[in-house]
Structure 1
């Protein structure tokens, strides 16, 4: 079940990467690269920091699922774009799951709660950051006007806090993931935005 949930999150992230490729008018190779980077980048960065073999290189599914998402977007991107609101909801669920699991893995490898939380955020937003850099966009992590990194930080912090007081396992992981997911959905629903520096007006 954990691997199936992981693959589901990877699939949704890969869809967003492939759609970015369509918007940038990239060919199928470029779409595939963005899909793979978006889906796997955060987890690979986490595992390299932990000095362990990345999970993406231990299972064939981790590579094939983003390719399947690329194929779907390649042939049916107008239809995929039309259901983007639903995809964003699933993306929020993937964000919550990835940041909670990333934090938990870091804690199990002996990192402090603070460092584990930061690594959990990296797991959740790292792939999207790499996607944006490759696509020539300002990374969401640096311009969090849609509250993406903030929910990841809340979920990761909650996971670290629960682990510190002796609460872990699937109930704690689910609670942390739901906190990140709920914050992300509320931000989308009510258009919450991270504040800019004093006196700076947001772009149109």
Structure 2
């Protein structure tokens, strides 16, 4: 298995872009809750780095946010931008789904790749990829006293991350990481984007369950 340092440079760029995108999302949530600059910073850091930190702790590693200053710096810059610039309007709504989808696919692949490189079997490695992609948002929601979005009836966010990680597991058997990683990112991000545009959601109960009207 390749070492973490073998992650292609393009994946690192996309990874930092994902940190920035989810930092902006954390800042946007902070604005909706009328938080101060400290609140913006905390939610941006948790949203951007929480999933990767949990993954690294489970792998008995130092979280990358503590060993690579560019990650924490990127999250704080995103918090500052979100604090100074209201993230709303048509252009933001058009741009963010694309950035978010790329970030999701990237984190799913990077998390899966890092787990595999530390001798984790393929299925838990994929799940660690899903945790990397979705864990920060889940922690942020719980901090605000909300049920995490990924546990509610919403677009196929966690499912798209699972597809991205699974694609990488299959492709890395046939191609080098420099090929397998970007392709898996596109697949995972593409599923996320298409699901959001088409409104695809997982059912909340089996189709054969008959819901009786309340008397």
1:114 is paired with a residue whose SS is helix
Q: Which residue, out of 80, 89, 95, partners 1:86?
A: 95
Residue correspondence of structure 1 range 80-119 to structure 2 within 5 A? 80-82=87-89, 83-119=92-128
Q: What CA RMSD, in Å, does the superposition of the two structures yield over aligned residues?
A: 1.6
For the Cα contact (< 8 Å) 1:140–1:148, is it kept in 2? no
1:194 is paired with a residue whose SS is coil
2:85 is paired with a residue whose SS is helix
Q: Output one character per residue of 1:6-43: Cα deviation in whole Å (capped at 9) or x when no partner.
A: 21110001000010011111111111100000000011
1:81 is paired with a residue whose SS is coil
Match of 2:205 in 1: 197
Task: State the aligned residue count.
Answer: 198
Q: Which runs of 5 or more residues in structure 1 are unaligned?
A: none
Q: Output one character per residue of 1:99-140: Cα deviation in whole Å (capped at 9) or x when no partner.
A: 011101100100000010000000110111111111222212
Mapped pair 1:176 → 2:188:
no
For the Cα contact (< 8 Å) 2:30–2:39, is it kept in 1? yes
Mapped pair 1:6 → 2:15:
yes
Distance verdict in 2 for CA 1:144–1:120, change over 3 Å: farther
For the Cα contact (< 8 Å) 2:153–2:204, is it kept in 1? no
2:125 and 2:151 map into 1 onto residues whose CA distance is 20
* CA shift for structure 1 position 190: 0.9
Q: Which runs of 5 or more residues in structure 2 are unaligned?
A: 1-8
Distance verdict in 2 for CA 1:121–1:196, change over 3 Å: same
Distance verdict in 2 for CA 1:130–1:200, change over 3 Å: farther
Distance verdict in 2 for CA 1:193–1:109, change over 3 Å: same
For the Cα contact (< 8 Å) 2:14–2:102, is it kept in 1? no
For the Cα contact (< 8 Å) 1:144–1:194, is it kept in 2? yes
Give the TM-score normalised by the residue count of structure 2.
0.87
50-59 vs 111-120, which moves further: 50-59
1:132 and 1:167 map into 2 onto residues whose CA distance is 38
Q: Output one character per residue of 1:66-104: Cα deviation in whole Å (capped at 9) or x when no partner.
A: 111111111111xx2221331121011000011011101
Mapped pair 1:132 → 2:141:
yes
Match of 1:185 in 2: 193
Q: Quick check: which has more Rg, 1 or 2?
A: 2
* CA shift for structure 1 position 166: 4.3
Give the TM-score normalised by the residue count of structure 1.
0.91
Match of 1:55 in 2: 64
1:141 is paired with a residue whose SS is helix
* CA shift for structure 1 position 200: 8.6
